[in-house]
Amino acid sequence: MGTQPPPNLASISDIFVCTRCGFCCQGQTTVSLNEADQERMVQHLNLPQEEVARRFWRITGSVVQMQVQDGHCIFYEAGHGCSVHAGRPWRCRQWPLHPSILSDENNFQSIAESCPGLKTSMGYAAFCRILRQLLEDSSSLAQEE
């Protein structure tokens, strides 16, 4: 008793299941890391910050990004995905369920073109209903790591 979720509680898997295609980890740049991201990554890797910076970060002035290797983020492993998953930056955590989807269907379409994991067949309105619910209850986004 008491452990069943309410029947209408949305789940991320209702609108997104990652296929591990790796597209979002490709390219010649990566997302930038804010201070909280840097701290989280250092803690997760359990290494001194100087070593994490030297081995994994590309620092340009005040901008900290992850290094790129062979055209993808240094933490991306083919066939496995993100090797720093629990310590990844918040922008990686947010992708592909970006709030801008709610304000413009073009954003939904363009993210869907980049991310095969989005469940688009339900249509924009139904997708937004679930995404809005998930974003309002951001704890449900955090739970499904």
Using CB under 6 A as the criterion, which residues of the chain lie in contact with ligand SF4 when the complex forms? 18-25, 30, 66, 73, 75-76, 82, 84, 88, 92, 95-96, 115-117
C-alpha angle with apex 14: 4 to 103, nearest 5 degrees?
120
If you count DSSP H runs as helices and E runs as strands, how many of each does the chain have, helices first? 7, 6
Return the number of the residue (2 or 64) whose C-beta is nearest ligand SF4.
Answer: 64
Return the number of the residue (10 or 88) whose C-beta is nearest ligand SF4.
Answer: 88
Report the distance separating Cα 87 and Cα 46, nearest Å: 10
> How many Cβ atoms are within 10 Å of 28's Cβ, its own excluded?
7
Q: The dihedral of CA 48, 75, 83, 130: what is its sign?
A: positive
- Minimum Å gap between C-beta 84 and ligand SF4 is 5
C-beta separation of 13 from 135 below 8 A: no
Return the number of the residue (4 or 46) whose C-beta is nearest ligand SF4.
Answer: 46
- Minimum Å gap between C-beta 83 and ligand SF4 is 7
- Minimum Å gap between C-beta 47 and ligand SF4 is 15
Return the number of the residue (57 or 76) whose C-beta is nearest ligand SF4.
Answer: 76
